[in-house]
């Protein structure tokens, strides 16, 4: 017992970040935070890092990008944390990068789409499996699924919010459409403050595309799903780059309205994606979720919040230091062993090899949670082939009728 006392008495290694605990991103932000707290418990139970405990220092960014620079300035200049990681989502990660760069800190982006493409910051890595061509990869599987159909679709509409994530995803979708030989018949953004999506859906319907690619954040994702159902418009394939339908809260809220939508996600507890430690982590997370008032299943962001800090923890252990330059160098050279699989980082800090999956919702009946717990009852991974659990139900109208 005496040997353990110096480590406990040592000053903690402090890790600072912002995290959405209120506002529209909070449903995922709270889930990520619980996962990060579980990592902290695990590391400290095992004796900490470098013989020191770890301590998380975090503030609510309120899902508001304008709060982020101030939070990171406080973390670094006032709290003087040892290390920093990002909050959740592209729109929150991007405004943190300039502050982090000014301080020369190593930085991990959590679920950020091509956030470093404008900065080219060499000490940044992304805990999001989009790969080197991140803007295109978020929807490339959606296009692969579309173009595998017979007859192949000919036309596409691209629509999304005028916000960082959506703009990046729409840019990638245009490149994917061009590569697939699809004619773009509608390409518009809407203000993030939009509340009525029916006029947008009717404008898309007037263009009559075979495929509709939607790049949206939670509030507008729900609005678009409702509007397509209310208008009764059924293109042959719909979805692709929508944030929100991955969370049980939205799945239960929308229920059968989601049937037929195809959308990206990054991990599901299917037989094809059972990486070492993943199911054990989810079981522990679920045991704590109810008391914490967060996503009860933890399939979407929770494993990534845990893996995010696994990467940082391994880099600290690899380098035997909390020196940002050494940690960043390790980020770009080591292979990291996490609950979401082995990770190696490449260009711009993105994953060297992408692993975005596209899933289709089907057979959702009512708004109960249990049907989403066993994901294979209501979701099918349709791309990529390595993780596929079934075939796309095509066209969309057939998937709507399947239930």
The CA-atom distances, in angstroms, between 170 and each of 32, 173, 176, 211, 217 are 26, 5, 10, 14, 13
Q: Say how far apart CA 310 and CA 323 lie, in whole Å.
A: 17
Last residue of a domain, one of 349, 373, 391: 349
336, 292: one domain: yes
- pLDDT value, residue 402: 64
- pLDDT value, residue 8: 46
Which bin fits 358, alpha (ψ -120 to 50), beta or left (φ > 0)? beta
At residue 10 the predicted structure's pLDDT band, cuts being 50, 70 and 90, is: confident
Instruction: Work out the percent of the chain whose per-residue pLDDT is above 90.
Output: 96
Q: What is the CATH classification number for the domain harbouring 297? A: 3.40.50.2300
Q: Whose CA is closest to 134, among 29, 19, 329, 264? A: 264
Asked whether residue 369 is assigned to any structural domain, the reply reads yes
Pairing of strands 341-343, 336-338: antiparallel
Tell me the average pLDDT across 156-162.
98
In angstroms, what is the C-alpha Rg of the chain?
21
Asked whether residue 356 is assigned to any structural domain, the reply reads no
Omega within 30 of 0 (cis) for the link into 151: yes
- pLDDT value, residue 1: 43
CB 314 within 8 A of CB 97: no
Which tens digits make up the pLDDT trace of 276-313? Answer: 999 999 999 999 999 999 999 999 999 999 999 999 99
Which tens digits make up the pLDDT trace of 318-327? Answer: 999 999 999 9
325 CB-contact burial (10 Å; exposed 0-12 / middle 13-18 / buried 19+)? middle
Q: Say how far apart CA 253 and CA 319 lie, in whole Å.
A: 46
Q: Which residues make beta-bridge pairs with 336?
A: 343
Tell me the average pLDDT across 37-51.
98
Inform me whether the pLDDT recorded for 88 exceeds 70. Answer: yes
Inform me whether the pLDDT recorded for 117 exceeds 50. Answer: yes
Number of domains in the chain: 2
Asked whether residue 74 is assigned to any structural domain, the reply reads yes
The CA-atom distances, in angstroms, between 34 and each of 111, 276, 293, 362, 401 are 16, 20, 10, 29, 38
- pLDDT value, residue 167: 96
186, 254: one domain: yes
Tell me the average pLDDT across 78-92.
97
Asked whether residue 296 is assigned to any structural domain, the reply reads yes
Q: Whose CA is closest to 15, among 72, 110, 83, 76? A: 83
32, 13: one domain: yes
At residue 5 the predicted structure's pLDDT band, cuts being 50, 70 and 90, is: very low
- pLDDT value, residue 401: 83
Asked whether residue 258 is assigned to any structural domain, the reply reads yes
Total residue count of the chain as it appears in this document: 403
Q: Say how far apart CA 195 and CA 285 lie, in whole Å.
A: 34
Q: Helices (DSSP H) in 265-395: which residue ranges?
A: 278-292, 302-319, 324-331, 370-373
41, 171: one domain: no
294, 339: one domain: yes
Containing domain of residue 225, as a range? Answer: 134-265+362-402
Tell me the average pLDDT across 383-389.
97
Q: How many CB atoms lie within 10 A of CB 103?
A: 14
Last residue of a domain, one of 304, 321, 349: 349
345, 382: one domain: no
- pLDDT value, residue 16: 98
- pLDDT value, residue 9: 55
Q: Give the containing element (helix H, strand E) for 159.
A: strand 155-161
Asked whether residue 285 is assigned to any structural domain, the reply reads yes
Asked whether residue 354 is assigned to any structural domain, the reply reads no
Which tens digits make up the pLDDT trace of 90-113? Answer: 999 999 999 999 999 999 999 999
369, 241: one domain: yes
35, 156: one domain: no
253, 386: one domain: yes
Q: What is the mean pLDDT of the chain?
A: 95
Q: Give the containing element (helix H, strand E) for 161.
A: strand 155-161
Is the four-CA dihedral 329, 333, 334, 336 of positive or negative sign? positive
147, 257: one domain: yes
121, 138: one domain: no
Q: Say how far apart CA 313 and CA 306 lie, in whole Å.
A: 10
Tokens at 286, concatenated: 């679920």
Asked whether residue 355 is assigned to any structural domain, the reply reads no
- pLDDT value, residue 231: 98
Which tens digits make up the pLDDT trace of 327-363? Answer: 999 999 999 999 999 999 998 999 999 999 999 999 9
- pLDDT value, residue 379: 97
87, 27: one domain: yes
């Amino acid at each position: 017992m005496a040997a353990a006392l110096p480590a406990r008495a040592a000053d903690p290694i402090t890790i600072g970040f912002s995290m959405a605990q209120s506002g529209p991103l909070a449903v995922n932000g709270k889930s990520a935070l619980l996962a990060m707290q579980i990592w902290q418990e695990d590391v400290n139970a095992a004796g900490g890092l470098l013989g020191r405990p770890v301590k998380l220092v975090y503030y609510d960014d309120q899902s508001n990008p304008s709060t982020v620079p101030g939070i990171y300035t406080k973390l670094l200049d006032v709290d003087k944390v040892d290390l920093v990681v990002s909050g959740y989502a592209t729109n929150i990660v991007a405004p943190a990068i300039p502050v982090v760069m000014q301080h020369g800190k190593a930085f991990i982006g959590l679920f950020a789409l091509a956030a470093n493409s404008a900065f080219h910051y060499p000490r940044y890595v992304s805990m999001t499996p989009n790969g080197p061509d991140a803007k295109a990869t978020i929807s490339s599987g959606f296009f692969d699924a579309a173009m595998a159909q017979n007859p192949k679709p000919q036309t596409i509409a691209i629509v999304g919010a005028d916000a960082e994530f959506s703009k990046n995803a729409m840019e990638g979708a245009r490149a994917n459409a061009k590569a697939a030989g699809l004619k773009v018949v509608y390409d518009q953004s809407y203000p993030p403050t939009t509340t009525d999506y029916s006029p947008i859906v009717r404008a898309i319907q007037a263009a009559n595309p075979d495929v509709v690619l939607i790049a949206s954040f939670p509030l507008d994702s729900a609005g678009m799903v409702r509007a397509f159902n209310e208008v009764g418009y059924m293109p042959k394939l719909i979805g692709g780059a929508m944030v929100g339908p991955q969370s049980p809260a939205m799945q239960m809220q929308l229920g059968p309205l989601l049937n037929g939508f195809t959308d990206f996600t990054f991990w599901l507890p299917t037989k094809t994606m059972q990486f070492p430690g993943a199911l054990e982590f989810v079981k522990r997370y679920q045991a704590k979720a109810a008391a914490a008032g967060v996503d009860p299943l933890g399939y979407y962001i929770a494993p990534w919040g845990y893996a995010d800090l696994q990467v940082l923890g391994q880099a600290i252990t690899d380098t035997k230091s909390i020196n940002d330059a050494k940690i960043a160098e390790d980020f770009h050279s080591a292979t990291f062993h996490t609950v979401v699989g082995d990770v190696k980082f490449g260009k711009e800090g993105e994953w060297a090899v992408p692993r975005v999956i596209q899933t289709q919702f089907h057979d959702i009946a009512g708004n109960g949670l249990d049907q989403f717990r066993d994901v294979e009852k209501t979701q099918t991974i349709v791309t990529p082939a390595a993780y596929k659990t079934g075939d796309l139900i095509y066209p969309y109208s057939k998937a709507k009728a399947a239930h």
